Amino acid sequence: MSTSFAIPAPRSAMLLRRRIATYFVGGAEQIAPLVGALDGRLVHELTVDVKDGVRESSMVCAVLLAAEETGPLLDRLRELPSVVSAELA
C-alpha cells in the first residue's frame, strides 16, 4: 500500500499596485530621503510636486506591494522627519 501526501507549494504573496500620497516639508532637499524609503520596491509611477511659497510639497507614487508590506512602508515614510502624512491614495 502506498501513501502520498499533498503538500501545497508555498505561494508568493500577491502583489498589488498601491498608490501612496506623501506630504512633506523642507522642499526639494527632502526628495532623496523620500525616494530612498521606497528602496527595494517596484515603483511604477513617481510624481513629486514642490512649489515655491507653499509649505507642504507632495510625492505620489504607485508601488507594487503585497498587502502585508503596505503598513510597514507607510510607517517607514511617516518616520522621516520631513513627512507630514503618508496615506493610501
**pLDDT tier, 20 (very low <50, low <70, confident <90, very high otherwise):** very high
Would you say residue 1 lies in a domain? no
**pLDDT tier, 52 (very low <50, low <70, confident <90, very high otherwise):** confident
Are the beta carbons of 77 and 20 closer than 8 angstroms? yes
Query: What is d(CA 39, CA 89) in angstroms, rounded to the nearest whole number?
Result: 20
Would you say residue 19 lies in a domain? yes
Would you say residue 29 lies in a domain? yes
Would you say residue 6 lies in a domain? no
Full domain range(s) for residue 45:
15-88
**pLDDT tier, 3 (very low <50, low <70, confident <90, very high otherwise):** low
Please report, for the domain that includes residue 77, its CATH number. 3.30.70.260
Per-residue model confidence as pLDDT tens digits over 55-76: 999 999 999 999 999 999 999 9
Residue showing cell 502624512: 85
Read off the pLDDT of each residue in 32-44 and give the average, rounded to a whole number.
95
In this model, does residue 51 exceed pLDDT 90? no
Would you say residue 53 lies in a domain? yes
Domain count, the chain: 1
C-alpha cell at 6: 499533498
Q: What's this model's pTM, rounded to 2 decimal places?
A: 0.81
